[in-house]
Amino acid sequence: MAIRTRITEMLGIEHPIVQGGMMHVGYAELASAVSNAGGLGIITALTQPSPAALSAEIERCRAMTSKPFAVNVTVLPSVTPPDYKAFAQKIIDAGVKIVETAGTQEVRELWAMMKPHGITIMHKCTAVRHALSAERAGCDIISIDGFECAGHPGEDDIPGLILIPAAADRVKIPLLASGGFGDGRGLAAALSLGAEGINMGTRFCATQEAPIHPNVKQKYVENDERGTNLIFRSLHNTARVGRNEVSDEVVRRLREPGATFDAVRELVSGKAGAELLRTGDLSRGIFWAGMVQGLIHDIPSCKELITRIVSEAEAIIRGRLGAMLA
Protein backbone atom coordinates (compact mmCIF):
# COMPACT_ATOMS: atom_id res chain seq x y z
CA MET A 1 0.00 0.00 0.00
CA ALA A 2 1.20 3.50 -0.80
CA ILE A 3 0.21 6.47 1.34
CA ARG A 4 -1.08 9.14 -1.03
CA THR A 5 -1.80 12.69 0.13
CA ARG A 6 -1.89 16.16 -1.35
CA ILE A 7 1.77 16.44 -0.31
CA THR A 8 2.87 13.47 -2.43
CA GLU A 9 0.82 14.72 -5.36
CA MET A 10 2.01 18.34 -5.20
CA LEU A 11 5.67 17.45 -4.73
CA GLY A 12 5.77 14.45 -7.05
CA ILE A 13 7.19 12.13 -4.39
CA GLU A 14 6.42 8.54 -3.46
CA HIS A 15 6.15 8.91 0.32
CA PRO A 16 4.88 11.86 2.43
CA ILE A 17 8.24 12.32 4.16
CA VAL A 18 10.34 15.47 3.83
CA GLN A 19 13.87 16.10 5.07
CA GLY A 20 14.05 19.49 6.73
CA GLY A 21 16.65 22.02 5.69
CA MET A 22 19.52 22.01 8.20
CA MET A 23 22.61 24.20 8.43
CA HIS A 24 25.85 22.31 7.74
CA VAL A 25 23.88 19.10 7.11
CA GLY A 26 21.70 19.81 4.08
CA TYR A 27 24.20 18.93 1.37
CA ALA A 28 23.67 17.00 -1.86
CA GLU A 29 24.71 13.68 -0.27
CA LEU A 30 21.79 13.67 2.16
CA ALA A 31 19.23 15.42 -0.06
CA SER A 32 19.78 13.01 -2.95
CA ALA A 33 19.63 9.96 -0.66
CA VAL A 34 16.27 11.06 0.77
CA SER A 35 14.87 11.79 -2.68
CA ASN A 36 16.14 8.49 -4.10
CA ALA A 37 14.37 6.74 -1.22
CA GLY A 38 11.04 8.28 -2.24
CA GLY A 39 10.95 11.27 0.11
CA LEU A 40 11.86 14.88 -0.56
CA GLY A 41 15.47 15.84 0.14
CA ILE A 42 16.43 19.44 0.79
CA ILE A 43 19.68 21.34 0.18
CA THR A 44 20.28 24.21 2.61
CA ALA A 45 21.15 27.32 0.61
CA LEU A 46 22.99 29.23 3.33
CA THR A 47 25.26 26.30 4.13
CA GLN A 48 26.92 27.29 0.87
CA PRO A 49 29.42 30.16 1.04
CA SER A 50 28.02 32.01 -1.97
CA PRO A 51 25.19 31.98 -4.51
CA ALA A 52 27.60 30.53 -7.09
CA ALA A 53 28.45 27.69 -4.72
CA LEU A 54 24.74 26.99 -4.29
CA SER A 55 24.39 26.65 -8.07
CA ALA A 56 27.19 24.09 -8.05
CA GLU A 57 25.61 22.18 -5.15
CA ILE A 58 22.28 22.01 -6.97
CA GLU A 59 23.99 20.57 -10.02
CA ARG A 60 25.88 18.12 -7.82
CA CYS A 61 22.56 16.94 -6.36
CA ARG A 62 21.10 16.57 -9.85
CA ALA A 63 23.98 14.28 -10.74
CA MET A 64 23.02 12.06 -7.77
CA THR A 65 19.25 11.86 -8.26
CA SER A 66 16.63 12.22 -10.96
CA LYS A 67 13.91 12.63 -8.33
CA PRO A 68 12.49 15.95 -7.05
CA PHE A 69 14.45 17.78 -4.38
CA ALA A 70 14.12 21.20 -2.79
CA VAL A 71 16.27 24.07 -1.53
CA ASN A 72 15.85 25.71 1.88
CA VAL A 73 16.27 29.46 2.39
CA THR A 74 15.93 30.80 5.93
CA VAL A 75 15.79 34.56 6.46
CA LEU A 76 16.87 35.66 9.93
CA PRO A 77 17.85 39.02 11.46
CA SER A 78 21.57 39.63 11.03
CA VAL A 79 24.06 42.46 11.39
CA THR A 80 25.52 41.49 8.01
CA PRO A 81 22.82 39.51 6.20
CA PRO A 82 23.67 37.44 3.14
CA ASP A 83 22.36 38.48 -0.26
CA TYR A 84 19.17 36.46 -0.01
CA LYS A 85 17.88 37.63 -3.37
CA ALA A 86 21.06 36.49 -5.09
CA PHE A 87 20.61 33.02 -3.59
CA ALA A 88 16.95 33.04 -4.68
CA GLN A 89 17.93 34.01 -8.21
CA LYS A 90 20.33 31.07 -8.42
CA ILE A 91 17.50 28.76 -7.35
CA ILE A 92 15.33 30.19 -10.11
CA ASP A 93 18.09 29.99 -12.69
CA ALA A 94 18.75 26.34 -11.79
CA GLY A 95 15.13 25.40 -12.43
CA VAL A 96 14.46 24.14 -8.90
CA LYS A 97 10.69 23.78 -8.47
CA ILE A 98 10.32 23.35 -4.69
CA VAL A 99 11.64 25.70 -2.00
CA GLU A 100 11.38 25.47 1.78
CA THR A 101 11.51 28.80 3.60
CA ALA A 102 11.57 29.90 7.22
CA GLY A 103 12.21 33.04 9.22
CA THR A 104 11.01 36.62 9.12
CA GLN A 105 8.36 38.12 6.86
CA GLU A 106 11.12 39.43 4.59
CA VAL A 107 11.10 35.93 3.12
CA ARG A 108 7.97 36.92 1.23
CA GLU A 109 10.06 39.13 -1.02
CA LEU A 110 11.74 35.91 -2.15
CA TRP A 111 8.35 34.28 -2.70
CA ALA A 112 7.46 37.16 -5.00
CA MET A 113 10.59 36.43 -7.03
CA MET A 114 10.03 32.67 -7.19
CA LYS A 115 6.29 32.17 -7.56
CA PRO A 116 6.10 33.49 -11.16
CA HIS A 117 8.53 30.70 -12.10
CA GLY A 118 6.19 27.97 -10.90
CA ILE A 119 8.07 27.25 -7.69
CA THR A 120 6.12 25.54 -4.90
CA ILE A 121 6.71 27.25 -1.55
CA MET A 122 6.78 25.30 1.71
CA HIS A 123 7.00 27.58 4.74
CA LYS A 124 7.87 26.61 8.31
CA CYS A 125 5.67 28.07 11.07
CA THR A 126 5.52 27.58 14.83
CA ALA A 127 2.05 29.04 15.42
CA VAL A 128 -1.38 28.81 13.80
CA ARG A 129 -1.54 32.59 13.39
CA HIS A 130 1.72 32.55 11.46
CA ALA A 131 0.46 29.70 9.27
CA LEU A 132 -2.71 31.60 8.41
CA SER A 133 -0.69 34.69 7.55
CA ALA A 134 1.60 32.66 5.28
CA GLU A 135 -1.40 31.04 3.60
CA ARG A 136 -2.93 34.46 2.88
CA ALA A 137 0.41 35.61 1.45
CA GLY A 138 0.45 32.82 -1.13
CA CYS A 139 2.39 29.97 0.46
CA ASP A 140 1.55 26.53 -1.00
CA ILE A 141 2.37 24.19 1.92
CA ILE A 142 2.76 24.85 5.64
CA SER A 143 5.28 22.93 7.75
CA ILE A 144 3.91 23.37 11.26
CA ASP A 145 6.63 22.94 13.90
CA GLY A 146 5.68 21.72 17.35
CA PHE A 147 7.58 22.53 20.53
CA GLU A 148 9.40 19.18 20.30
CA CYS A 149 11.40 20.31 17.27
CA ALA A 150 15.09 21.10 17.01
CA GLY A 151 16.02 24.66 16.15
CA HIS A 152 13.66 27.52 16.93
CA PRO A 153 10.25 26.33 18.24
CA GLY A 154 8.90 29.84 18.84
CA GLU A 155 7.85 31.24 22.18
CA ASP A 156 4.38 29.71 22.61
CA ASP A 157 5.58 26.24 23.72
CA ILE A 158 2.71 24.40 22.01
CA PRO A 159 3.44 20.70 21.37
CA GLY A 160 2.48 18.96 18.16
CA LEU A 161 -0.42 17.02 19.66
CA ILE A 162 -2.26 20.36 19.97
CA LEU A 163 -0.57 22.50 17.33
CA ILE A 164 -1.05 20.14 14.37
CA PRO A 165 -4.83 19.66 14.67
CA ALA A 166 -5.28 23.31 15.64
CA ALA A 167 -3.58 24.28 12.38
CA ALA A 168 -5.45 21.62 10.39
CA ASP A 169 -8.75 23.04 11.64
CA ARG A 170 -8.03 26.43 10.11
CA VAL A 171 -5.44 26.14 7.35
CA LYS A 172 -6.78 25.02 3.97
CA ILE A 173 -3.50 24.32 2.15
CA PRO A 174 -1.63 21.06 2.89
CA LEU A 175 0.20 20.68 6.19
CA LEU A 176 3.47 18.95 6.98
CA ALA A 177 3.86 18.02 10.64
CA SER A 178 7.29 18.75 12.09
CA GLY A 179 8.89 18.26 15.48
CA GLY A 180 9.22 14.89 17.19
CA PHE A 181 8.82 12.62 14.17
CA GLY A 182 11.10 9.66 13.58
CA ASP A 183 9.10 6.47 13.00
CA GLY A 184 5.91 5.03 11.54
CA ARG A 185 3.92 5.72 14.69
CA GLY A 186 4.64 9.41 14.20
CA LEU A 187 3.62 9.35 10.55
CA ALA A 188 0.34 7.57 11.35
CA ALA A 189 -0.31 10.02 14.19
CA ALA A 190 0.43 13.04 12.00
CA LEU A 191 -2.02 11.83 9.36
CA SER A 192 -4.63 11.26 12.07
CA LEU A 193 -4.12 14.78 13.40
CA GLY A 194 -4.80 16.34 10.01
CA ALA A 195 -1.35 16.67 8.46
CA GLU A 196 -0.58 15.17 5.05
CA GLY A 197 3.03 14.28 5.67
CA ILE A 198 5.93 14.71 8.06
CA ASN A 199 9.10 16.79 8.06
CA MET A 200 12.11 15.27 9.85
CA GLY A 201 15.43 16.88 10.65
CA THR A 202 17.11 15.26 13.65
CA ARG A 203 16.13 11.75 12.53
CA PHE A 204 17.82 12.22 9.16
CA CYS A 205 20.99 13.40 10.93
CA ALA A 206 21.30 9.86 12.31
CA THR A 207 21.52 8.17 8.90
CA GLN A 208 24.41 6.71 6.97
CA GLU A 209 24.31 9.45 4.33
CA ALA A 210 24.17 12.44 6.67
CA PRO A 211 27.45 14.34 6.07
CA ILE A 212 28.40 14.68 9.73
CA HIS A 213 30.91 12.88 11.96
CA PRO A 214 29.95 9.42 13.29
CA ASN A 215 30.46 10.66 16.86
CA VAL A 216 27.61 13.12 16.42
CA LYS A 217 25.35 10.48 14.91
CA GLN A 218 26.09 8.20 17.85
CA LYS A 219 25.23 11.03 20.26
CA TYR A 220 21.74 11.19 18.73
CA VAL A 221 21.38 7.46 19.42
CA GLU A 222 22.69 7.70 22.98
CA ASN A 223 20.60 10.71 24.00
CA ASP A 224 17.04 10.15 25.16
CA GLU A 225 14.01 12.44 25.00
CA ARG A 226 15.53 14.56 27.80
CA GLY A 227 18.77 15.07 25.89
CA THR A 228 18.17 18.64 24.76
CA ASN A 229 18.58 22.11 26.19
CA LEU A 230 16.44 25.16 25.51
CA ILE A 231 18.78 28.10 25.08
CA PHE A 232 18.15 31.82 24.53
CA ARG A 233 14.88 31.65 26.53
CA SER A 234 15.65 34.90 28.33
CA LEU A 235 16.46 36.54 25.00
CA HIS A 236 13.04 35.56 23.58
CA ASN A 237 14.68 33.63 20.76
CA THR A 238 14.29 30.10 22.11
CA ALA A 239 16.33 27.38 20.44
CA ARG A 240 16.41 23.64 21.14
CA VAL A 241 19.85 22.04 20.88
CA GLY A 242 21.46 18.78 21.91
CA ARG A 243 22.55 18.56 25.51
CA ASN A 244 26.31 18.63 26.01
CA GLU A 245 28.71 20.50 28.26
CA VAL A 246 28.64 23.53 25.97
CA SER A 247 24.86 23.93 25.86
CA ASP A 248 24.74 23.33 29.63
CA GLU A 249 27.16 26.24 30.02
CA VAL A 250 25.07 28.43 27.70
CA VAL A 251 22.02 27.80 29.88
CA ARG A 252 24.02 28.55 33.05
CA ARG A 253 25.43 31.83 31.75
CA LEU A 254 22.10 33.11 30.48
CA ARG A 255 20.48 32.48 33.86
CA GLU A 256 22.71 35.17 35.35
CA PRO A 257 20.81 38.42 36.01
CA GLY A 258 21.13 40.86 33.11
CA ALA A 259 22.92 38.36 30.86
CA THR A 260 23.02 39.24 27.16
CA PHE A 261 23.94 37.36 24.01
CA ASP A 262 27.53 38.55 24.37
CA ALA A 263 27.87 36.25 27.40
CA VAL A 264 27.57 33.18 25.16
CA ARG A 265 28.57 34.47 21.74
CA GLU A 266 31.73 32.39 21.42
CA LEU A 267 29.97 29.22 22.62
CA VAL A 268 27.17 29.31 20.05
CA SER A 269 28.97 30.51 16.93
CA GLY A 270 28.01 28.88 13.67
CA LYS A 271 31.67 28.23 12.92
CA ALA A 272 32.08 26.27 16.16
CA GLY A 273 28.95 24.24 15.41
CA ALA A 274 30.18 23.41 11.92
CA GLU A 275 33.50 22.24 13.36
CA LEU A 276 31.67 20.02 15.85
CA LEU A 277 29.78 18.32 13.02
CA ARG A 278 32.96 17.94 10.96
CA THR A 279 35.33 16.69 13.66
CA GLY A 280 32.97 14.90 16.04
CA ASP A 281 34.42 16.82 18.99
CA LEU A 282 31.29 17.45 21.06
CA SER A 283 33.11 19.97 23.25
CA ARG A 284 33.56 22.40 20.36
CA GLY A 285 30.10 23.96 20.31
CA ILE A 286 26.38 23.29 20.12
CA PHE A 287 24.46 21.03 17.76
CA TRP A 288 20.79 21.10 16.80
CA ALA A 289 18.68 18.23 18.15
CA GLY A 290 15.02 17.58 18.85
CA MET A 291 13.25 15.57 21.52
CA VAL A 292 12.88 12.78 18.94
CA GLN A 293 16.32 11.62 20.06
CA GLY A 294 14.37 9.41 22.47
CA LEU A 295 13.09 7.46 19.46
CA ILE A 296 16.42 7.11 17.64
CA HIS A 297 18.03 3.72 18.22
CA ASP A 298 20.10 3.10 15.09
CA ILE A 299 21.85 4.73 12.13
CA PRO A 300 20.23 3.27 9.00
CA SER A 301 20.47 4.35 5.39
CA CYS A 302 17.84 6.85 4.25
CA LYS A 303 16.27 4.11 2.14
CA GLU A 304 16.06 1.75 5.11
CA LEU A 305 14.64 4.48 7.34
CA ILE A 306 11.95 5.69 4.94
CA THR A 307 10.90 2.16 3.98
CA ARG A 308 10.62 1.25 7.66
CA ILE A 309 8.59 4.34 8.55
CA VAL A 310 6.10 3.80 5.74
CA SER A 311 5.78 0.07 6.49
CA GLU A 312 5.19 0.77 10.18
CA ALA A 313 2.58 3.42 9.42
CA GLU A 314 0.76 1.13 7.00
CA ALA A 315 0.73 -1.68 9.57
CA ILE A 316 -0.71 0.64 12.20
CA ILE A 317 -3.40 2.04 9.90
CA ARG A 318 -4.43 -1.31 8.40
CA GLY A 319 -3.73 -3.57 11.35
CA ARG A 320 -3.61 -2.23 14.88
CA LEU A 321 -6.17 0.56 14.45
CA GLY A 322 -8.39 -1.43 12.13
CA ALA A 323 -8.49 -4.32 14.59
CA MET A 324 -9.86 -2.00 17.27
CA LEU A 325 -13.04 -1.36 15.31
CA ALA A 326 -15.95 -3.50 16.46
Do 12 and 105 lie in a common domain? yes
DSSP classification of residue 258: T
Closest CA to 179 of 204, 155, 197, 199: 199
User: Which tens digits make up the pLDDT trace of 78-120?
Assistant: 778 899 999 999 999 999 999 999 999 999 999 999 999 999 9
Domain containing residue 260: 228-288
The distance of Cα 98 from the centroid of its chain, to the nearest Å, equals 15
Is 216 inside any structural domain? no
Is 61 inside any structural domain? yes
Do 191 and 315 lie in a common domain? yes
pTM for this predicted structure: 0.96
In whole angstroms, what is the distance from residue 234 CA to residue 304 CA? Answer: 40
Do 258 and 163 lie in a common domain? no
The pLDDT assigned to 78 comes to 77
- With a cut of 70, which residues of the chain have pLDDT below it? 1
Closest CA to 60 of 72, 48, 75: 48
